[in-house]
Amino acid sequence: MRFLRLIFIAALAIILIAVALANRDIVTLSAFPANFGQYLGGRWSVDLPLFLVIFLAFALGMLAGLVWEWLRESHIRREARTHAFRAAQLENEVGHLRDRHAAPKDEVLAILDRPKSAPPAVPLASPEPAPGTTLPATR
């Protein structure tokens, strides 16, 4: 892909250089038609090489198209921001609901859901009797 991009840029550069060399004549670029600028005062024209006029027209056309599309798609960007904000709110709400409803309300479920590596909450039976209990006599 990088090689194709390099070939495209090289071909574009060769074409632009060829256009520039073929259109080196000086032309007068006027801002207003037929000496209308003299009524506004000053000189409203400039002498430039023709290839520069072509390149400037191309660049200004690209800039105008960019601004036009940016303005045309503004409602799409606004709607996307609104949907992204709403999705973030819903994800936040789902996270809070998971946290609130994650704890089991039943003690049996709490024991079953406890991780296996955690020590038991109640100590296991010991070989000695609990105080205050009577056991049958050993034989």
Residue 7 clears pLDDT 70, i.e. is over it: yes
Alpha-carbon distances of 74 from 59, 79, 81, 127, rounded to whole Å: 23, 9, 11, 77
Residue 76 clears pLDDT 70, i.e. is over it: yes
Q: What secondary structure letter does DSSP report for 39?
A: G
Residue 29: CB atoms within 10 Å: 14
Least confident of 17-31, 48-62, 64-78, 108-122: 108-122
- What average pLDDT does range 10-27 have in this prediction? 91
- What average pLDDT does range 18-23 have in this prediction? 90
- Note the pLDDT of residue 111: 74
Helix (H, G, I), strand (E, B) or coil at 28: strand
The one-letter amino acid code at 107 reads E
pLDDT digit string (tens) for 118-139? 555 555 566 666 666 666 666 6
Q: How far apart are CA 89 and CA 73, in angstroms?
A: 25
**Per-domain residue ranges of the chain:** 19-72, 76-113
Q: How far apart are CA 99 and CA 93, in angstroms?
A: 10
- Helix/strand/coil percent split, the chain, to 5: 60, 5, 30
Residue 68 clears pLDDT 90, i.e. is over it: yes
Q: How confident is the model at residue 34 (pLDDT cuts 50, 70, 90)?
A: confident
